[in-house]
Structure 1
Amino acid sequence: MKKYISLFVLLLISSAGLYAQSIYDIRNAIDFFESNKMQRGDFRKTLSESEIEGSPYYIDEFTKGTIFTSQKIQYNDVPLRYNIYNDEMEFQTPDEQILAIAAPEIVEKAVVGEDTFSNIPYELGNKVKRAYFILLTEGKLSLYARPQVMYQKPKEAAAYKEPEPAKFIKRPDMYYLRLNQQAAVKIESKKDLQNFFTDHQKQIEDFIKENKIKPGKEDNMMELVEYYNSL
Protein backbone atom coordinates (compact mmCIF):
# COMPACT_ATOMS: atom_id res chain seq x y z
CA MET A 1 0.00 0.00 0.00
CA LYS A 2 1.41 3.38 -0.99
CA LYS A 3 2.04 6.10 1.57
CA TYR A 4 0.90 9.59 0.62
CA ILE A 5 2.81 12.64 1.83
CA SER A 6 1.52 16.26 1.85
CA LEU A 7 1.74 19.50 3.81
CA PHE A 8 -1.18 18.66 6.05
CA VAL A 9 -1.60 16.01 8.71
CA LEU A 10 -4.89 14.38 7.95
CA LEU A 11 -6.51 11.05 8.68
CA LEU A 12 -9.12 9.95 6.17
CA ILE A 13 -11.49 7.25 7.39
CA SER A 14 -14.18 5.88 5.09
CA SER A 15 -17.72 5.74 6.42
CA ALA A 16 -17.62 1.97 6.00
CA GLY A 17 -14.47 1.86 8.10
CA LEU A 18 -12.70 -0.26 5.50
CA TYR A 19 -9.33 1.48 5.68
CA ALA A 20 -7.42 4.50 6.92
CA GLN A 21 -4.84 6.41 4.91
CA SER A 22 -2.18 8.54 6.61
CA ILE A 23 -0.94 11.76 5.08
CA TYR A 24 2.22 13.12 6.65
CA ASP A 25 3.90 16.49 6.91
CA ILE A 26 6.45 17.53 4.29
CA ARG A 27 9.13 17.04 6.93
CA ASN A 28 8.79 13.31 6.30
CA ALA A 29 9.91 13.91 2.74
CA ILE A 30 12.94 15.77 4.00
CA ASP A 31 13.65 12.96 6.48
CA PHE A 32 13.56 10.55 3.55
CA PHE A 33 16.19 12.49 1.65
CA GLU A 34 18.26 12.95 4.80
CA SER A 35 18.25 9.19 5.33
CA ASN A 36 19.56 8.68 1.83
CA LYS A 37 22.22 11.26 2.53
CA MET A 38 23.42 9.19 5.47
CA GLN A 39 23.28 5.92 3.56
CA ARG A 40 24.74 6.98 0.23
CA GLY A 41 26.63 10.22 0.65
CA ASP A 42 24.96 11.46 -2.54
CA PHE A 43 23.11 14.40 -1.05
CA ARG A 44 24.48 17.93 -1.44
CA LYS A 45 23.60 21.56 -1.67
CA THR A 46 23.48 22.97 -5.17
CA LEU A 47 26.00 25.58 -6.22
CA SER A 48 25.04 29.16 -7.01
CA GLU A 49 24.89 30.10 -10.68
CA SER A 50 24.43 33.83 -9.95
CA GLU A 51 27.46 34.81 -12.02
CA ILE A 52 26.40 32.86 -15.09
CA GLU A 53 23.98 34.22 -17.69
CA GLY A 54 21.01 32.09 -18.67
CA SER A 55 19.56 29.29 -16.61
CA PRO A 56 20.32 25.58 -16.10
CA TYR A 57 16.70 24.93 -15.06
CA TYR A 58 13.76 23.58 -17.01
CA ILE A 59 11.66 26.15 -15.12
CA ASP A 60 13.41 28.54 -12.74
CA GLU A 61 10.68 28.65 -10.10
CA PHE A 62 9.88 25.87 -7.67
CA THR A 63 6.54 24.16 -8.31
CA LYS A 64 4.78 21.86 -5.88
CA GLY A 65 5.07 18.35 -7.22
CA THR A 66 4.96 14.68 -6.32
CA ILE A 67 7.88 12.29 -5.97
CA PHE A 68 7.40 8.55 -6.53
CA THR A 69 10.26 6.45 -5.16
CA SER A 70 11.54 3.03 -6.16
CA GLN A 71 10.24 1.84 -2.76
CA LYS A 72 6.72 2.73 -3.98
CA ILE A 73 6.39 5.63 -1.55
CA GLN A 74 4.72 8.83 -2.74
CA TYR A 75 5.63 12.30 -1.44
CA ASN A 76 3.13 15.05 -2.28
CA ASP A 77 3.36 18.85 -2.28
CA VAL A 78 7.15 18.99 -2.41
CA PRO A 79 8.51 22.21 -4.03
CA LEU A 80 10.52 20.90 -7.01
CA ARG A 81 12.46 22.09 -10.02
CA TYR A 82 14.61 20.24 -12.53
CA ASN A 83 18.24 21.21 -13.10
CA ILE A 84 18.88 20.21 -16.72
CA TYR A 85 22.62 20.80 -16.67
CA ASN A 86 23.23 18.67 -13.55
CA ASP A 87 20.38 16.24 -14.31
CA GLU A 88 19.10 16.68 -10.75
CA MET A 89 15.70 17.14 -9.20
CA GLU A 90 16.05 19.91 -6.64
CA PHE A 91 13.64 20.61 -3.80
CA GLN A 92 13.18 23.46 -1.35
CA THR A 93 12.86 22.82 2.39
CA PRO A 94 10.47 24.73 4.67
CA ASP A 95 13.42 26.89 5.81
CA GLU A 96 14.15 27.67 2.12
CA GLN A 97 17.29 25.59 1.73
CA ILE A 98 17.76 24.38 -1.85
CA LEU A 99 18.88 20.77 -1.94
CA ALA A 100 19.35 18.17 -4.63
CA ILE A 101 19.51 14.42 -4.65
CA ALA A 102 22.33 13.16 -6.85
CA ALA A 103 21.30 9.49 -6.80
CA PRO A 104 18.43 9.49 -9.30
CA GLU A 105 17.86 5.74 -8.91
CA ILE A 106 16.08 6.56 -5.64
CA VAL A 107 13.38 8.41 -7.60
CA GLU A 108 11.14 6.48 -9.99
CA LYS A 109 9.48 9.64 -11.29
CA ALA A 110 8.61 13.19 -10.29
CA VAL A 111 5.45 14.93 -11.45
CA VAL A 112 5.99 18.70 -11.57
CA GLY A 113 3.09 20.74 -12.90
CA GLU A 114 1.98 19.10 -16.15
CA ASP A 115 5.33 17.35 -16.72
CA THR A 116 6.34 13.85 -15.64
CA PHE A 117 10.09 13.40 -15.19
CA SER A 118 10.79 9.67 -15.39
CA ASN A 119 14.09 8.28 -14.14
CA ILE A 120 14.86 5.55 -16.66
CA PRO A 121 17.82 3.65 -18.12
CA TYR A 122 19.12 4.76 -21.52
CA GLU A 123 21.84 3.74 -23.92
CA LEU A 124 24.99 5.85 -24.01
CA GLY A 125 27.48 4.30 -26.40
CA ASN A 126 28.06 0.73 -25.22
CA LYS A 127 26.89 1.53 -21.69
CA VAL A 128 23.52 1.85 -19.99
CA LYS A 129 23.03 4.80 -17.63
CA ARG A 130 20.08 6.43 -15.87
CA ALA A 131 18.75 9.97 -16.13
CA TYR A 132 15.59 12.06 -16.00
CA PHE A 133 13.47 12.23 -19.15
CA ILE A 134 10.18 14.02 -19.79
CA LEU A 135 7.49 11.48 -20.62
CA LEU A 136 5.58 12.50 -23.76
CA THR A 137 3.49 9.39 -24.40
CA GLU A 138 3.44 5.97 -22.75
CA GLY A 139 2.59 2.52 -24.05
CA LYS A 140 4.33 -0.61 -25.32
CA LEU A 141 6.49 1.96 -27.09
CA SER A 142 7.05 5.17 -25.13
CA LEU A 143 8.43 8.52 -26.24
CA TYR A 144 10.60 10.73 -24.04
CA ALA A 145 12.24 14.12 -24.44
CA ARG A 146 15.54 15.04 -22.82
CA PRO A 147 16.08 18.79 -22.40
CA GLN A 148 19.56 20.06 -23.23
CA VAL A 149 21.60 22.91 -21.74
CA MET A 150 25.13 23.76 -22.81
CA TYR A 151 27.59 25.57 -20.55
CA GLN A 152 29.75 28.14 -22.32
CA LYS A 153 32.86 29.26 -20.49
CA PRO A 154 33.58 33.00 -20.08
CA LYS A 155 35.58 34.57 -22.89
CA GLU A 156 38.28 37.15 -22.30
CA ALA A 157 38.43 40.39 -24.25
CA ALA A 158 40.24 40.16 -27.57
CA ALA A 159 40.90 42.41 -30.54
CA TYR A 160 37.58 44.04 -31.50
CA LYS A 161 35.73 41.79 -29.08
CA GLU A 162 34.27 42.54 -25.67
CA PRO A 163 34.64 39.96 -22.87
CA GLU A 164 31.71 37.55 -22.50
CA PRO A 165 30.44 36.08 -19.23
CA ALA A 166 29.84 32.40 -18.73
CA LYS A 167 26.45 31.30 -20.08
CA PHE A 168 23.92 28.50 -19.94
CA ILE A 169 22.51 28.07 -23.45
CA LYS A 170 19.33 26.07 -24.07
CA ARG A 171 19.55 23.55 -26.90
CA PRO A 172 16.76 21.66 -28.70
CA ASP A 173 15.37 18.64 -26.88
CA MET A 174 16.63 15.18 -27.81
CA TYR A 175 14.06 12.42 -28.35
CA TYR A 176 14.28 8.86 -27.07
CA LEU A 177 12.21 5.75 -27.73
CA ARG A 178 11.74 3.03 -25.13
CA LEU A 179 10.25 -0.35 -25.97
CA ASN A 180 8.66 -2.07 -22.96
CA GLN A 181 11.16 -1.85 -20.08
CA GLN A 182 14.31 -1.80 -22.18
CA ALA A 183 16.84 1.03 -22.09
CA ALA A 184 15.72 4.12 -24.02
CA VAL A 185 17.44 4.80 -27.34
CA LYS A 186 18.27 8.25 -28.73
CA ILE A 187 16.72 8.96 -32.11
CA GLU A 188 18.48 11.60 -34.18
CA SER A 189 18.06 10.38 -37.75
CA LYS A 190 15.89 8.22 -40.01
CA LYS A 191 18.65 5.63 -39.86
CA ASP A 192 18.22 5.52 -36.06
CA LEU A 193 14.53 4.82 -36.61
CA GLN A 194 15.26 2.06 -39.11
CA ASN A 195 17.71 0.41 -36.71
CA PHE A 196 15.36 0.73 -33.74
CA PHE A 197 12.36 -1.16 -35.09
CA THR A 198 12.90 -4.91 -35.32
CA ASP A 199 9.23 -5.74 -35.94
CA HIS A 200 6.63 -4.27 -38.28
CA GLN A 201 9.57 -2.88 -40.25
CA LYS A 202 7.82 -2.59 -43.64
CA GLN A 203 4.77 -0.91 -42.09
CA ILE A 204 6.93 1.49 -40.09
CA GLU A 205 9.09 2.37 -43.11
CA ASP A 206 5.99 3.04 -45.21
CA PHE A 207 4.46 5.17 -42.45
CA ILE A 208 7.65 7.22 -42.08
CA LYS A 209 7.82 7.81 -45.83
CA GLU A 210 4.13 8.57 -46.37
CA ASN A 211 3.90 10.94 -43.38
CA LYS A 212 7.34 12.52 -43.87
CA ILE A 213 8.32 11.73 -40.28
CA LYS A 214 11.28 13.77 -39.03
CA PRO A 215 13.05 12.51 -35.87
CA GLY A 216 13.70 16.02 -34.55
CA LYS A 217 10.01 17.01 -34.47
CA GLU A 218 7.96 16.11 -31.41
CA ASP A 219 4.60 15.96 -33.19
CA ASN A 220 6.06 13.63 -35.86
CA MET A 221 7.52 11.32 -33.23
CA MET A 222 4.21 11.28 -31.36
CA GLU A 223 2.42 10.22 -34.57
CA LEU A 224 4.92 7.42 -35.16
CA VAL A 225 4.69 6.07 -31.60
CA GLU A 226 0.89 6.14 -31.64
CA TYR A 227 0.91 4.29 -34.99
CA TYR A 228 3.30 1.62 -33.70
CA ASN A 229 1.22 1.07 -30.56
CA SER A 230 -1.87 0.57 -32.73
CA LEU A 231 -0.31 -2.32 -34.68
Structure 2
Amino acid sequence: MKKITFLLSLILYALAGISQTYVISDLSTLSDQYTVDKSGKSGFIVPNIDGSPYLNDDFIVGEVIVEDSIRFELIPLRYNIYNDKMEFKNKNSQVLELGNSTSRYQFHFEDFLFCNQMYSEDGQSKQGILELLVDGQVKLFKKYNIELQPAARAIGFQEATPDRFVQKEEQYLLAVGKEIPYVFGNPKKLLPVLEKIKPEVNSYVKTQKLKLRSEKDLIVLIQYCNQ
Protein backbone atom coordinates (compact mmCIF):
# COMPACT_ATOMS: atom_id res chain seq x y z
CA MET A 1 0.00 0.00 0.00
CA LYS A 2 1.33 3.41 -0.89
CA LYS A 3 1.92 5.79 1.97
CA ILE A 4 0.73 9.11 0.61
CA THR A 5 -0.26 10.68 -2.71
CA PHE A 6 1.56 13.38 -4.57
CA LEU A 7 -1.54 15.54 -4.16
CA LEU A 8 -1.39 15.30 -0.37
CA SER A 9 2.28 16.27 -0.43
CA LEU A 10 1.53 19.35 -2.50
CA ILE A 11 -1.27 20.49 -0.24
CA LEU A 12 0.70 19.96 2.95
CA TYR A 13 3.58 21.89 1.42
CA ALA A 14 1.25 24.73 0.52
CA LEU A 15 -0.13 24.80 4.05
CA ALA A 16 3.28 24.78 5.76
CA GLY A 17 3.51 27.57 8.29
CA ILE A 18 -0.22 28.30 8.13
CA SER A 19 -2.06 27.72 11.40
CA GLN A 20 -5.53 27.81 9.84
CA THR A 21 -7.42 24.52 9.60
CA TYR A 22 -8.81 23.69 6.16
CA VAL A 23 -12.07 21.74 5.99
CA ILE A 24 -12.59 19.21 3.20
CA SER A 25 -15.56 16.92 2.72
CA ASP A 26 -14.12 13.81 1.03
CA LEU A 27 -11.14 12.03 2.60
CA SER A 28 -10.45 10.03 -0.56
CA THR A 29 -9.39 13.20 -2.41
CA LEU A 30 -6.12 13.34 -0.46
CA SER A 31 -4.93 9.83 0.40
CA ASP A 32 -3.96 6.67 -1.36
CA GLN A 33 -6.22 3.98 -0.03
CA TYR A 34 -7.07 0.38 -0.68
CA THR A 35 -10.59 -0.27 -2.00
CA VAL A 36 -12.00 -2.99 0.21
CA ASP A 37 -15.39 -3.54 -1.35
CA LYS A 38 -17.73 -1.25 -3.28
CA SER A 39 -20.72 -2.91 -1.67
CA GLY A 40 -19.75 -1.43 1.70
CA LYS A 41 -18.79 -4.76 3.25
CA SER A 42 -15.19 -5.36 4.18
CA GLY A 43 -13.33 -7.72 1.89
CA PHE A 44 -11.34 -8.89 4.91
CA ILE A 45 -14.32 -10.67 6.45
CA VAL A 46 -14.50 -14.23 5.18
CA PRO A 47 -17.76 -16.22 5.49
CA ASN A 48 -17.89 -18.74 8.33
CA ILE A 49 -15.61 -16.75 10.60
CA ASP A 50 -17.21 -16.11 13.97
CA GLY A 51 -16.87 -12.81 15.75
CA SER A 52 -15.85 -9.48 14.29
CA PRO A 53 -12.51 -7.81 13.53
CA TYR A 54 -14.02 -4.39 14.22
CA LEU A 55 -14.28 -2.10 17.19
CA ASN A 56 -17.53 -0.86 15.68
CA ASP A 57 -19.24 -3.05 13.07
CA ASP A 58 -21.23 -0.14 11.68
CA PHE A 59 -19.66 3.00 10.29
CA ILE A 60 -19.86 5.99 12.64
CA VAL A 61 -19.74 9.52 11.28
CA GLY A 62 -16.74 11.44 12.61
CA GLU A 63 -13.88 13.65 11.55
CA VAL A 64 -10.29 13.12 10.42
CA ILE A 65 -7.49 15.65 10.92
CA VAL A 66 -4.30 15.36 8.85
CA GLU A 67 -1.07 16.96 10.06
CA ASP A 68 -3.05 19.28 12.38
CA SER A 69 -3.95 21.36 9.30
CA ILE A 70 -6.57 19.64 7.15
CA ARG A 71 -9.92 18.66 8.62
CA PHE A 72 -12.34 16.20 7.01
CA GLU A 73 -15.83 16.34 8.48
CA LEU A 74 -18.81 13.97 8.31
CA ILE A 75 -16.63 10.98 7.40
CA PRO A 76 -18.08 7.49 8.09
CA LEU A 77 -15.37 5.65 10.06
CA ARG A 78 -14.82 2.09 11.24
CA TYR A 79 -11.74 0.71 13.00
CA ASN A 80 -10.55 -2.71 11.88
CA ILE A 81 -8.63 -3.90 14.94
CA TYR A 82 -7.39 -7.10 13.32
CA ASN A 83 -5.76 -5.27 10.40
CA ASP A 84 -5.00 -2.22 12.55
CA LYS A 85 -6.44 0.06 9.86
CA MET A 86 -9.08 2.78 9.88
CA GLU A 87 -11.72 2.26 7.19
CA PHE A 88 -13.91 4.99 5.77
CA LYS A 89 -16.53 5.58 3.08
CA ASN A 90 -16.10 8.11 0.34
CA LYS A 91 -18.88 10.02 -1.41
CA ASN A 92 -19.49 7.06 -3.72
CA SER A 93 -20.00 4.76 -0.69
CA GLN A 94 -16.84 2.83 -1.50
CA VAL A 95 -15.21 1.33 1.58
CA LEU A 96 -11.55 2.35 1.70
CA GLU A 97 -8.81 2.12 4.30
CA LEU A 98 -5.95 4.35 5.33
CA GLY A 99 -2.50 2.84 5.67
CA ASN A 100 -0.38 3.46 8.76
CA SER A 101 1.78 6.04 6.99
CA THR A 102 4.24 8.52 8.45
CA SER A 103 1.69 11.33 8.04
CA ARG A 104 -0.14 12.21 11.25
CA TYR A 105 -3.82 11.32 11.29
CA GLN A 106 -6.37 11.82 14.06
CA PHE A 107 -9.72 10.03 13.96
CA HIS A 108 -12.50 11.36 16.17
CA PHE A 109 -15.90 9.63 16.37
CA GLU A 110 -18.31 9.33 19.28
CA ASP A 111 -16.15 9.46 22.43
CA PHE A 112 -13.12 7.93 20.71
CA LEU A 113 -9.98 9.77 19.62
CA PHE A 114 -7.54 7.61 17.65
CA CYS A 115 -4.24 8.50 16.01
CA ASN A 116 -1.70 6.66 13.89
CA GLN A 117 1.38 6.64 16.04
CA MET A 118 4.88 5.23 16.39
CA TYR A 119 5.19 3.32 19.66
CA SER A 120 7.55 0.97 21.43
CA GLU A 121 6.84 -2.56 22.64
CA ASP A 122 9.53 -4.70 24.26
CA GLY A 123 12.16 -2.34 22.88
CA GLN A 124 10.89 -2.64 19.28
CA SER A 125 9.50 0.32 17.36
CA LYS A 126 6.10 -0.24 15.76
CA GLN A 127 3.52 1.80 13.88
CA GLY A 128 -0.18 1.46 14.59
CA ILE A 129 -3.42 3.02 15.62
CA LEU A 130 -3.76 3.99 19.28
CA GLU A 131 -6.63 5.45 21.24
CA LEU A 132 -5.65 8.59 23.14
CA LEU A 133 -7.19 8.36 26.61
CA VAL A 134 -5.43 11.30 28.31
CA ASP A 135 -3.65 14.20 26.62
CA GLY A 136 -1.13 16.53 28.21
CA GLN A 137 2.51 16.50 29.30
CA VAL A 138 1.85 12.88 30.28
CA LYS A 139 -0.19 10.96 27.72
CA LEU A 140 -2.03 7.68 28.17
CA PHE A 141 -2.83 5.50 25.15
CA LYS A 142 -4.70 2.27 24.60
CA LYS A 143 -3.98 -0.42 21.98
CA TYR A 144 -6.76 -2.80 20.97
CA ASN A 145 -5.88 -6.36 19.92
CA ILE A 146 -7.78 -9.08 18.09
CA GLU A 147 -6.41 -12.37 16.79
CA LEU A 148 -7.78 -14.89 14.32
CA GLN A 149 -7.92 -18.32 15.91
CA PRO A 150 -8.07 -21.26 13.48
CA ALA A 151 -10.90 -23.74 13.33
CA ALA A 152 -10.78 -26.79 15.59
CA ARG A 153 -12.10 -30.25 14.74
CA ALA A 154 -14.55 -32.04 16.97
CA ILE A 155 -12.76 -34.18 19.56
CA GLY A 156 -14.80 -36.42 21.83
CA PHE A 157 -17.57 -34.36 23.42
CA GLN A 158 -16.00 -31.10 22.24
CA GLU A 159 -17.79 -29.69 19.22
CA ALA A 160 -15.97 -28.38 16.17
CA THR A 161 -15.46 -24.64 16.03
CA PRO A 162 -14.96 -22.44 12.95
CA ASP A 163 -12.27 -19.84 12.44
CA ARG A 164 -13.03 -16.98 14.81
CA PHE A 165 -11.91 -13.52 15.77
CA VAL A 166 -11.05 -13.35 19.47
CA GLN A 167 -10.52 -10.14 21.36
CA LYS A 168 -7.31 -10.09 23.39
CA GLU A 169 -6.43 -7.99 26.40
CA GLU A 170 -5.86 -4.32 25.61
CA GLN A 171 -2.43 -2.79 26.13
CA TYR A 172 -1.79 0.58 27.74
CA LEU A 173 0.98 2.94 26.77
CA LEU A 174 2.60 5.96 28.40
CA ALA A 175 4.40 8.92 26.86
CA VAL A 176 6.06 11.78 28.74
CA GLY A 177 6.73 14.96 26.80
CA LYS A 178 7.73 14.29 23.20
CA GLU A 179 8.89 10.70 23.70
CA ILE A 180 7.08 7.98 21.76
CA PRO A 181 4.55 5.95 23.75
CA TYR A 182 5.73 2.65 25.17
CA VAL A 183 3.76 -0.36 26.32
CA PHE A 184 4.05 -0.88 30.05
CA GLY A 185 3.28 -4.35 31.29
CA ASN A 186 3.06 -4.07 35.06
CA PRO A 187 1.18 -0.87 36.02
CA LYS A 188 3.22 -0.65 39.23
CA LYS A 189 6.25 0.18 37.08
CA LEU A 190 4.51 3.44 36.26
CA LEU A 191 4.88 4.89 39.75
CA PRO A 192 8.68 5.47 39.67
CA VAL A 193 8.25 7.20 36.29
CA LEU A 194 5.34 9.36 37.44
CA GLU A 195 7.10 10.18 40.71
CA LYS A 196 9.64 12.24 38.77
CA ILE A 197 6.78 14.39 37.52
CA LYS A 198 4.53 14.34 40.57
CA PRO A 199 6.42 13.42 43.79
CA GLU A 200 3.14 12.90 45.67
CA VAL A 201 1.86 10.28 43.24
CA ASN A 202 2.27 7.33 45.64
CA SER A 203 0.33 9.10 48.37
CA TYR A 204 -2.37 10.03 45.85
CA VAL A 205 -2.78 6.41 44.75
CA LYS A 206 -3.18 5.31 48.37
CA THR A 207 -5.53 8.07 49.53
CA GLN A 208 -7.74 7.72 46.45
CA LYS A 209 -7.55 3.91 46.63
CA LEU A 210 -6.72 3.69 42.94
CA LYS A 211 -6.37 0.30 41.29
CA LEU A 212 -3.69 0.57 38.61
CA ARG A 213 -5.16 -2.30 36.61
CA SER A 214 -8.40 -0.35 36.23
CA GLU A 215 -8.56 1.81 33.10
CA LYS A 216 -10.80 4.30 34.87
CA ASP A 217 -8.32 4.69 37.74
CA LEU A 218 -5.35 4.89 35.35
CA ILE A 219 -7.06 7.81 33.62
CA VAL A 220 -7.63 9.52 36.97
CA LEU A 221 -3.97 9.02 37.91
CA ILE A 222 -2.56 10.42 34.65
CA GLN A 223 -4.94 13.37 34.76
CA TYR A 224 -3.67 14.10 38.28
CA CYS A 225 -0.06 14.02 37.02
CA ASN A 226 -0.97 16.63 34.40
CA GLN A 227 -2.36 19.09 36.96
Deviation at 1:87, TM superposition (A): 0.9
Structure 1 residue 164 corresponds to structure 2 residue 161: yes
User: Which of 17, 22, 25 is residue 3 of structure 1 equivalent to?
Assistant: 22
One-letter amino acid matched to 1:74:
R
| Distance in 2 separating the partners of 1:208 and 1:71 | 35
Q: Which moved more, 1:196-205 or 1:219-228?
A: 196-205
3-state secondary structure, aligned to 1:197 = helix
Change in 2 beyond 3 A, CA 1:189/1:69: same
| Residue identity opposite 2:30 in structure 1 | F
* SS of equivalent to 1:165: coil
| Counterpart among 21, 28, 31 of residue 29 in structure 2 | 31
- TM superposition outliers: structure 1 runs of 4+ over 4 Å: none
SS in 2 for 1:106: coil
**1:19-98 equivalence runs, <5 A:** 26=26, 29-33=27-31, 36=32, 43=34, 45=36, 46-70=43-67, 72-98=69-95
* Residue 176 (structure 2) aligned to one of 153, 166, 179: 179
Q: Which amino acid aligns with 2:97?
A: A
Deviation at 1:5, TM superposition (A): 1.5
Distance in 2 between the 1:107 and 1:48 partners?
A: 27
- Give the gaps of 5 or more residues in structure 2: 1-19, 37-42
Name the SS for the 2:168 alignment partner.
strand
Once the two structures are TM-superposed, the CA of residue 163 in structure 1 deviates from its matched residue by: 1.0
Structure 1 residue runs of 5 or longer lacking an equivalent are: 7-25, 38-42
What is the Cα deviation at residue 161 of structure 1?
2.0
Task: Give the TM-score of the pair, scaled to structure 1.
Answer: 0.77
How many residues end up aligned between the 2 structures?
202
Answer yes or no: is 1:137 the counterpart of 2:150.
no
Q: Quote the Cα distance in structure 2 between the aligned partners of 1:222 and 1:228.
A: 10
| CA-based RMSD | 2.2
User: Percent of pairs identical after alignment?
Assistant: 24
Amino acid in structure 2 at the alignment position of 1:2: T
Query: Which has the larger strand fraction?
Result: 1
Contact 2:104 2:117 in 1 (8 A): no
Identify the residue that residue 223 of structure 1 maps to in structure 2: 220
Of structures 1 and 2, the larger Rg is shown by 1
